[in-house]
């Protein structure tokens, strides 16, 4: 191999390396763009035949712009759901109601104190069960409210992102 052939081979290797680096950079930008679209649940189509590198750059810039303008960071963990304070005392209230009912029934049957104790035990169990159900319902309602707030934030963010992309001649659906 002569000196000229060696120089050609080196030049070819440098050109191939530069092309491979550009292809990898373009692939990485496209992957980021696709990840953003997946996260937002949208599809972005160029209106003016922008290439994938331009679309990827515009997608990232509009994502950052929407984040800055709305103050919403979709990548941040959602705020903790405020757990409503568990109510207590259901068993006591239930026992009191049950004892009153049991005493009334026991009075008719001839032993009010035995009726009251049986009624108190049953009432306590029922009161405890009702309190647990009430606490579970309050927790479920708090979780639903948090989910609705998160969905509203995402919709607001998507509007800002879509407006930016539309201004850059993309269709966002």
Condensed to tens digits (0 to 9), the pLDDT of residues 148-163 reads 988 999 999 999 999 9
Q: What is the pLDDT averaged over residues 47-63? A: 94
Chain position carrying tokens 């934030």: 153
Q: Are 42 and 170 in contact (CB under 8 A)?
A: no
Q: Which residues pair with 170 in a beta bridge?
A: 46
The residue among 67 and 110 whose pLDDT is bigger is 67
CA distance 145 to 84: 12
- The pLDDT > 90 percentage for the chain reads 36
Write down the pLDDT at residue 127: 67
Write down the pLDDT at residue 22: 46
The residue among 23 and 101 whose pLDDT is bigger is 101
The residue among 68 and 128 whose pLDDT is bigger is 68
Chain position carrying tokens 């496209």: 30
CA distance 92 to 88: 9
Kindly state the tokens that stand for 56.
């990827």
The residue among 113 and 134 whose pLDDT is bigger is 134
What is the pLDDT confidence band of residue 29, given thresholds at 50, 70 and 90? confident
Q: Give the chain's mean pLDDT.
A: 76
Q: What is the pLDDT averaged over residues 53-74? A: 94
The residue among 97 and 38 whose pLDDT is bigger is 38
Mean pLDDT is highest, among 19-28, 111-120, 161-170, for 161-170
Q: What is the pLDDT averaged over residues 111-119? A: 60
């Amino acid at each position: 191999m002569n000196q000229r052939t060696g120089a050609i081979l080196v030049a070819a290797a440098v050109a191939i390396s530069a092309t491979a680096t550009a292809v990898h950079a373009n692939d990485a930008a496209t992957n980021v763009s696709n990840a953003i679209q997946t996260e937002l649940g949208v599809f972005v189509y160029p209106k003016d035949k922008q290439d994938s590198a331009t679309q990827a750059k515009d997608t990232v810039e509009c994502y950052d712009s929407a984040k800055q303008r709305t103050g919403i960071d979709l990548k941040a963990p959602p705020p903790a759901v405020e757990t409503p304070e568990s109510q207590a005392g259901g068993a006591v209230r239930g026992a009191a109601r049950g004892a009153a009912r049991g005493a009334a029934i026991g009075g008719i049957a001839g032993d009010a104190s035995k009726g009251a104790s049986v009624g108190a035990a049953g009432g306590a169990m029922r009161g405890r069960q009702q309190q647990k159900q009430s606490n579970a319902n309050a927790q479920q309602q708090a979780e639903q409210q948090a989910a609705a707030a998160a969905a509203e934030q995402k919709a607001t963010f998507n509007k800002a992102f879509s407006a930016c992309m539309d201004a850059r001649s993309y269709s966002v659906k």
